[in-house]
Amino acid sequence: MPSDGRARALSRELIDVHNWLRDELRRVTDELDHYPGTHPTDLRAHCLAFCTALTDHHTSEDDTAFPLWHNAFQSSHRS
């Protein structure tokens, strides 16, 4: 079972990554709102980068964080 410190670090990392992704989405939206002359290729590049980061993020959660939390949760209910 992970230590409380490890669980807190994982939680903090998830919060930080979600906040970063939200900030990036806001930034791209603001850029499009303030620069209506933005070329579609610029938007496509931003969207592809965002989708890649989001996919990597969710894959990482699926492979590492969620199994760890599941095991910790199961262990805590057996006690």
Confidence band (pLDDT; 50, 70, 90) for 22?
confident
pLDDT of residue 79: 55
Beta strand ranges found along 1-79 (DSSP E): none
Task: Calculate mean pLDDT across residues 54-77.
Answer: 80
Rounded (10°) angle between helices 4-34 and 66-78: 140
Report the b/e string of 8-44 with b at 16+ CB within 10 A.
eebeeebeebeeeeeeeeeebeeeeeeeeeeeeeeee
pLDDT of residue 11: 80
